[in-house]
Amino acid sequence: MWLIDFYKTSPMMLAFTGLYLLLYVFSLVKVLLNTHSTPKTLAYILLITVVPIIGMFTYFSFGVNYRHKASSRITKSHHNLISKNFASIIKDNTLELQKSNAALLGKYHNLIHFIYSLGSEYLSLNIFHLLLNGEAKFPEVLKTLTAAQSSIHMEYYDWENDVRGNQIKEILLDKIDQGVDIRIMYDDYASRKIKHNIVKELKNAGAEIYPVLKVKLTAFANRLNHRDHRKVIIVDGHTGFVGGINISDRYDNSIDTGLYWRDTHIKIIGESVYNLQRHFLVNWNSCQENELTLNPKLFPPIPTITEGNRQVISQIVAGGPIYPISNIMLTYFKIFTHAKQKLYITNPYFIPSDSILDALKQAAISGVDVRIMMPEKSDSVIVGAASKFFYNEILEAGVKIYLYKKGFVHAKTVVADGDLSVVGTANMDIRSFDLNFEIMSINYGTALASELETSFINDLKDCREVSVKEWNSQSKFMFLLYSIARLVSAFL
C-alpha cells in the first residue's frame, strides 16, 4: 500500500518507472528477435536484467547487428550485381576441373558444391607460393608490386606507419608515376596510424585510397563491431596474396620488435585471383562513389601455368555482415566434419560456436587425428581465458591441444587428410564468423597441403601439449575465471 501511495504523490517517479519498464521490455524484445546466438542472447538478457541502464547501453552500443540495413553502405545489392556480371564475363571451369581431376576432387564433391553455392565460388587452377612469416612475405610482395604493369589493388585490416609500411608506400608512389592504377582500402580503425601521412601522401600522388566502414563518433562502438579484417593484394588482375599477415614490422622477424611472430600467407597466380578481385570490387564500390565496372582490364588473361609441382585447385570463400549466412563458420564446419584421417588447425583466437565445437568433437571421437595449435599467451587476456574454457571439453573428446611458446602464433590455417588446406584471414570466433569481413582460400592438392603440414609439424617443436590430467589439476578458481571470461566474450 505504501508503494501505491508513494507513486500517487510522485507522478514524476511513476512516469520514470513506466518509461523504464517500456525501455526494458523493448530491449528484451530486440535482443530476442535480433540476437541469434543463444549464449549471446542469454548474456544480454542477464546484463539488461541485473544492471539495466548499463546493460541497455551496452546492447545498443555493441550488440545491435546492422548487417541487413542498407544504410551500412556495404550492402547485398553490390555483391549481387557484381556476382551476376562476373558470371557473364568469366568462364566457369568448375565441371571441367572436377572431371579432369576426379581422383583428387571426387571425395570433395559435396564440399565443392557447398562452397560454390555460397555465391558462385568457382574452382580454378593456380600455382602457389607458401610464405611463412613476414620475412618471406614482404620481399615477395615488394618484388611483385615493383613488377606491376597495370593495376595494384590492396585491402588491409592493419597497415602500420613503420619500415615495411613505408617501403610499400614508396613502391606505390613509384608505380603511380609509371601510370599504374592504385586502389587501396584500409580498415579505418585498425589502420588509423597511417591516416595523417601514408594515406595523404598516396592520395596526393594520385592513388585512390579509402577507409572501409569509417569510424564515426556517433556510431563508434557499432562500427568497431564490423571491421574489414582482410589482408589481400591483387596485382595486374592475375597475381594475388592472401593470409594472416598485416602490413607491420611485428610480422617480420628479420626486424627486431621484441616478439617472434609466426604467421602464414600465400601468393597465388591463377583464376582464383579473379574471385579475389570480385570480392575486392564489392567492398570498393560500397566504400566510395566512383564505382568500378567489371571490365576486361581488371580480369586479364592468366599467364601460362608452368610450375606443375606447385599447382593447386582452389575456391575462395568470403564472409562478412552482408551475407545472409555465416559462410566462414559453415565452411570450417563442413571441412571438419569431412576429415577422415588428419585435421591440423592453427588459429590464434579460439572461441568456437557450438557447431564448430561439435564438429571437432565428432571428428576426434571418430578417430581423426585432430590437433589444434594456439598461442600459449594470447595478446588479449579475455580472449585467451575464454579460449581455455573450451579446452576440457575438446580434450576429453580426444582433440590434442598444442600451445605455441616461441612467440605469438597468428596463422589461420587448416590441413586435412594430406590434400585439403585452408589459408586465410578468419579466426575461429564470433567476430570472424559473423561480424568482420573475412576471406580465405580453400585448396585441393597434395603439394600445398604437404608444405603446410610440414610447417605444422615443425611448429610443434616450439609447442607444449596440454594433457587432460594437467588441465584438470587446475584450481576451481581458474575454471571460474575461464567461465567468466567466456561469458564476457559473448559481448566481444
Is 89 part of any domain?
A: yes
Measured distance CA(238)–CA(303) in Å, rounded: 8
Which grid cell is 476? Answer: 576451481
Q: How far apart are CA 309 and CA 420, in angstroms?
A: 16
Claim to verify: residue 298 and residue 389 sit in the same structural domain: no
151 shares a domain with 237: yes
> Within a 13 Å sphere around the CA of 399, how many CA atoms are in the beta-carbon half?
25
Domain edge (last residue) among 63, 82, 98: 63
363 and 418 both lie in a single domain: yes
Residue 111 included in any domain: no
Same-domain status, 199 and 230:
yes
Nearest to 387 by CA among 372, 398, 397: 372
Range of the domain at 201: 70-106+127-312
CA distance 384 to 58: 22
Q: What is the pLDDT of residue 71?
A: 37
Q: Give the integer Cα–Cα distance in Å for 239 and 410.
A: 24
Phi and psi based region of residue 265 (left: phi greater than 0; alpha: psi -120 to 50; beta: remaining): beta
Helix (H) or strand (E) holding 29: helix 11-34
- Give backbone dihedrals phi and psi of 454, rounded to 5 degrees, phi first: -60, -40
The one-letter amino acid at 312: V
Residue 282 to residue 140: CA distance in whole angstroms: 26
Catalytic residues: 229, 231, 236, 410, 412, 417
Assess contact for 241 and 128: CB atoms under 8 A.
Answer: no
CB 247 within 8 A of CB 261: no
Q: Are residues 337 and 447 in the same domain?
A: yes
**Residue 167 lies inside a defined structural domain of this protein:** yes
On the CB side of 76, CA atoms within 13 Å amount to 10
Q: Which residues pair with 151 in a beta bridge?
A: 181
Query: Are 301 and 411 within one domain?
Result: no
The whole-angstrom separation of Cα 31 and Cα 35 is 5
**DSSP category for residue 183:** E
Same domain membership, residue 281 and residue 422: no
Selection from 81, 435, 424, 71 nearest residue 285 by Cα: 81
pLDDT along the chain (492 residues), means of 10: 53 68 80 71 78 73 52 57 78 92 95 91 94 97 97 97 97 98 94 93 96 61 68 97 97 94 97 94 85 86 79 94 88 97 97 94 98 93 89 95 97 98 95 90 97 98 94 88 78 58
Task: Calculate the alpha carbon distances from 441 to 264, 279, 446, 447, 475 in Å.
Answer: 12, 13, 15, 15, 41
Among 254, 288, 312, where does a domain finish? 312
Task: Report in angstroms the alpha-carbon separations of 471 from 404, 467, 478.
Answer: 16, 6, 10
Three-state SS for 62? helix
Are 430 and 356 members of one domain? yes
b/e per residue 244-263 (b: at least 16 CB within 10 A): bbbbbbbbbbebeeeeebbb
pLDDT at 358 (0 to 100): 96
Q: Are residues 59 and 86 in the same domain?
A: no
| Residue type, position 202, single letter | L
- Looking at the domain assignment, is residue 122 inside a domain? no
Has this prediction a pTM greater than 0.95? no
Q: Are residues 304 and 383 in the same domain?
A: no
The domain boundary, picked from 281, 312, 343, lies at: 312
Torsions phi, psi of 440, nearest 5? -150, 155
For residue 3, the surrounding DSSP H or E stretch is: helix 2-9
DSSP string, 355-406: HHHHHHHHHHHTT-EEEEEEESS-SSHHHHHHHHTTHHHHHHHT-EEEEE-S
CATH number at residue 131: 3.30.870.10
Residue 3 lies in a domain: no
Question: If you count them, how many residues does the chain have?
Answer: 492
DSSP state of 125: E
Estimate to the nearest angstrom the gap between the alpha carbon of 384 and the chain centroid: 18
- Number of structural domains in the chain: 3
How high is the pLDDT of residue 9?
A: 55
Name the H helices within 321-367. 327-338, 354-365
Report the run of H or E that residue 16 belongs to, with start and end. Answer: helix 11-34
- Decide if 1 is inside a domain: no
Asked if 292 and 364 sit in the same domain, the reply is no
Distance of CA 391 to the CA centre of its chain: 22
Count other C-beta atoms under 10 Å from residue 70's C-beta.
10
Q: What torsion, rounded to 10 degrees, do the Cα atoms 386, 388, 394, 400 define?
A: 140
C-alpha dist (Å) from residue 65 to 33, 59, 73, 280, 283 = 11, 10, 14, 23, 18
Q: Looking at the structure, do residues 229 and 90 belong to the same domain, yes or no?
A: yes
